[in-house]
Amino acid sequence: MVGWIILGVLVALIVGLCLIPVGFDAGFEHDALHVSAKVMGIQLQLFPRPKGEAKKPKEEKPKEEKPPEEKKPEQPAQKKRGLPLGLNVQELLEIARAALRGMGRFGHKMKVDRFRLIFVASEPDPYYTAMTYGTVNEILSMLAPLCKKAFTCRNCEVRTGVDFLGNRMQLEFGLGMSIRIGQILGVVFGIAFAALKVVLRSRKRQKQEGKAAVAGEGTPVESVQDAATAEENAAPAEALPENGTTAPPAEEPSENPDHTETKQDVERMNPNGEQ
């Protein structure tokens, strides 16, 4: 019973952690840049740092003298050839497509808490002021439908204006986005599993190629042995006599067919002249 209770508490903690929203809020407003992190709707200012927080001076520790180390001869670095993990170009493209699909799902799950854009066109020349104002409005009209399809925006404020009397353009921008931790983990695990599937398939392909290479290396030796065996079988066999016994080798004809001893033979046998 206690084990089930502990398991239930762990599951509840994991589910609660996955439901926690996290995000950021950044922008350039009132001529100042600010960046903040958000956890469960609470903003934690990252830049600029609050005035109360000051960097503490680091205490300098006395440096300990180390004995001189013997320098080892540097070995030339071996350059790795080929793609990482033995992947080919097609498999790398497959992983890239899976990552892009995951990032697309990540973008759809992101929620825009606020979007603020204020632009006032102002140039010394009224003609350029009007041209700048028209160009900005045209760009915004093109991006607006795309952003509505990609994101869910809770608070959106977009204003454009023109000032023919001023000499300085005004721009303010602010963006706040949030997403749940569980959604982030889902996207990350989706990309990781897709990449792992491609890597395992690549390992299987490499093993098959290695077996094929080993089999290919043994083929020439076998072919040479087969050729030698065929030549031996094709060689004409020596003719055997009818009784099946091997005929004695033929004797070479001698220069003296009458087998008469010549004077030179006698002298060779009896060098001292004895008979």
Task: List pLDDT tens digits, range 201-220.
Answer: 988 888 888 888 888 765 55
pLDDT in tens, 214-248: 887 655 544 545 555 655 565 554 444 445 455 55
Residue with tokens 């071996």: 78
Task: Quote the tokens at residue 204.
Answer: 């299987």
Q: Which of 2-16, 59-73, 89-103 is modeled with the greatest confidence?
A: 2-16
Question: How far apart are the C-alpha atoms of 115 and 155, rounded to whole Å?
Answer: 6
The pLDDT, as a whole number, for residue 37 is 93
The pLDDT, as a whole number, for residue 24 is 93
Coil, strand or helix at 240:
coil
Q: Tell me if 26 sits within 8 A of 175, measured CB to CB.
A: yes
The pLDDT, as a whole number, for residue 98 is 85
pLDDT in tens, 137-163: 999 988 888 888 777 888 889 999 999
The pLDDT, as a whole number, for residue 193 is 92
Give the lowest-confidence range in 71-85, 129-143, 144-158, 171-185. 71-85
What is the arithmetic mean of pLDDT over 112-141? 91
Q: Is the pLDDT of residue 272 over 60?
A: no
Question: How far apart are the C-alpha atoms of 180 and 247, rounded to whole Å?
Answer: 101
Task: Quote the tokens at residue 88.
Answer: 């080919």
The pLDDT, as a whole number, for residue 74 is 59
Q: Which of 149, 151, 143, 144 is nearest to 107 (CA)?
A: 151
The pLDDT, as a whole number, for residue 68 is 63
Q: Tell me if 136 sits within 8 A of 121, measured CB to CB.
A: yes
Q: Helix crossing, 89-109 with 181-234: angle to 10°? A: 170
Task: Quote the tokens at residue 219.
Answer: 């083929």
Structure-model confidence comparison of residues 65 and 22, the more confident one? 22
The DSSP call for residue 84 is G
The pLDDT, as a whole number, for residue 22 is 93
Look at the chain and count its residues: 275
Q: Tell me if 85 sits within 8 A of 166, measured CB to CB.
A: no
**Dihedral of alpha carbons 145, 147, 152, 156, sign:** negative
